[in-house]
Structure 1
């Protein structure tokens, strides 16, 4: 399969990292330790920092917390009260940036980064909140690697609540494009200009396969989307008859 993956990449722009690992330990990877802008994959590490004790705690939406990009909370009225668990669903399933920032404020950037360090993630850092362009201008940003994303997914999937959240992902135009509704896929996407990511666990024939695709420095985001589409199709077709 490695040669088939390399064939997908040969005429595409940018830098790509890929890990494909099944539950039997079979694995292929390309650039697993290379650092990438995390885009919305940083939300996986925010989710990791939330405990079940936090779930029922409530947070009120404030106008000065609303930010653009993905999500619905930016359009809703100030004063709306949500549980931390509600915010987790919005952050992952709709990639809601306002929900993410509310969780970051609730937990604290320092605490999230401490948890990142304690879990041994080598290439991941939360440097700023979502859509914080001023922070970005000051050199603050969010980063991760394919290896770190695989590891955080493996930890998250040990908890049924987190698994259920990731299974309800609404953004399904990348890795699962060709197998959407044919197989269960728990995952999270991310994108910026020049960046297209998707990472998750495909459940198929009582087996599972973890797939991580990170891209950066794309001349056209279409290249990154196609890479994700074709890698997802390749893995699905390879494992569906096993």
Structure 2
């Protein structure tokens, strides 16, 4: 057999093998290609709530939770309200003094490091619990978060998501607890755990159907939209919570298509060298997943 024929047969075999790949495998390869171009570590968890179809990559790897932990905090607050411990319309005094989980020493937040700063001008005044939850999710207010974690108790937050099926997530502390940070007592998560939590929200199983719907509506008002929604059509609605610290960018979402279909998508990253490029890569992964789902309807 001459060399040219061998080359031809080799190429033909490659074409045949490529055509034998399922559409899901092709999508996974495309996602891997996009993410491998970035210096960093990534996790992807996708679940179609209608078909049960899934794409999972590094879904059990542990990541610093950053502000994705604020969704579990919201769930615990709604849970305690449903239990009658308080009403979401009850008022709470705004303060900026908190205790470290290490030794109960006092610390406070710097408004310059918060994504929401107007609340700091209202210290000593009252705001409803509902408004603090809204600020915690939609503009990722750290001040609101710390007040709510102190009220709800981080241990109870963790136990509640354990009960929902999220076995590895840990909500240990509020934001900027430096002593806890130095002892590596951080809030951590996995893509799989966030997938479980957002599935419960989407299916009306987080606290109860009414609470789940209210929480999803808050998530739909998210103001930071540079990852999962960034490259999607305007007709697609995304209920989501982002999270970021240095080298870390996350997004966790329920994606609603105009035809009524919906899916959950979790994108996590850490050790990013080029954060802007990393965010762009993650938003591209979101677009790939959307195109995959949209194409299934067309077929």
Q: Which of the two has higher C-alpha Rg?
A: 2
Kindly provide the CA deviation profile for residues 112-139 of structure 1, in whole angstroms up to 9, marking residues without a partner as x: 2222333332221112211222220122
Taking the TM superposition and a 5 Å limit, the aligned residue runs for 1:96-115 are 96-115=141-160
Taking the TM superposition and a 5 Å limit, the aligned residue runs for 1:77-116 are 77-116=122-161
Taking the TM superposition and a 5 Å limit, the aligned residue runs for 1:203-218 are 203-204=256-257, 205-218=259-272
Structure 1 segments of 4 or more deviating over 6 A? none
- CA contact 1:73–1:98 (8 Å) conserved in 2: no
For residue 225 of structure 1, what is the aligned residue in structure 2?
279
SS of 1:229's partner is: helix
How far has the Cα of 1:92 moved from its partner? Answer: 0.6
Kindly provide the CA deviation profile for residues 42-95 of structure 1, in whole angstroms up to 9, marking residues without a partner as x: 111101111244412221102436623222344322122111111111111001
- Corresponding residue to 1:14 among 40, 43, 52: 40
How far has the Cα of 1:167 moved from its partner? Answer: 0.6
Paired with 1:174 and 1:180, the residues of 2 have a C-alpha distance of 13
How far has the Cα of 1:186 moved from its partner? Answer: 0.5
Taking the TM superposition and a 5 Å limit, the aligned residue runs for 1:48-87 are 48-51=75-78, 52-53=81-82, 54-64=87-97, 67=109, 68-87=113-132
Q: Which moved more, 1:10-19 or 1:131-140?
A: 131-140
Q: Which moved more, 1:112-121 or 1:202-211?
A: 112-121
CA RMSD across the alignment: 1.7
SS of 1:48's partner is: helix
Q: 1:29 to 1:46 in 2, by over 3 A?
A: same
Q: Answer 1 or 2: which has greater strand percent.
A: 1
Structure 1: state its 5+ residue gaps: none
Task: Give the number of aligned pairs.
Answer: 242
Q: Which moved more, 1:155-164 or 1:218-227?
A: 218-227
Structure 2: state its 5+ residue gaps: 1-26, 99-107, 205-211
- CA contact 1:116–1:125 (8 Å) conserved in 2: no
TM-score with structure 1 setting the length: 0.93
TM-score with structure 2 setting the length: 0.76
How far has the Cα of 1:180 moved from its partner? Answer: 5.8
For residue 2 of structure 1, what is the aligned residue in structure 2?
28
SS of 1:50's partner is: helix
How far has the Cα of 1:146 moved from its partner? Answer: 0.4
Q: Which moved more, 1:172-181 or 1:28-37?
A: 172-181
How far has the Cα of 1:219 moved from its partner? Answer: 1.7
For residue 170 of structure 2, what is the aligned residue in structure 1?
125
For residue 173 of structure 1, what is the aligned residue in structure 2?
226
- Corresponding residue to 1:163 among 199, 202, 216: 216
SS of 1:189's partner is: strand
Paired with 2:155 and 2:76, the residues of 1 have a C-alpha distance of 11
Paired with 2:188 and 2:233, the residues of 1 have a C-alpha distance of 28
- CA contact 2:149–2:173 (8 Å) conserved in 1: no
How far has the Cα of 1:189 moved from its partner? Answer: 0.4
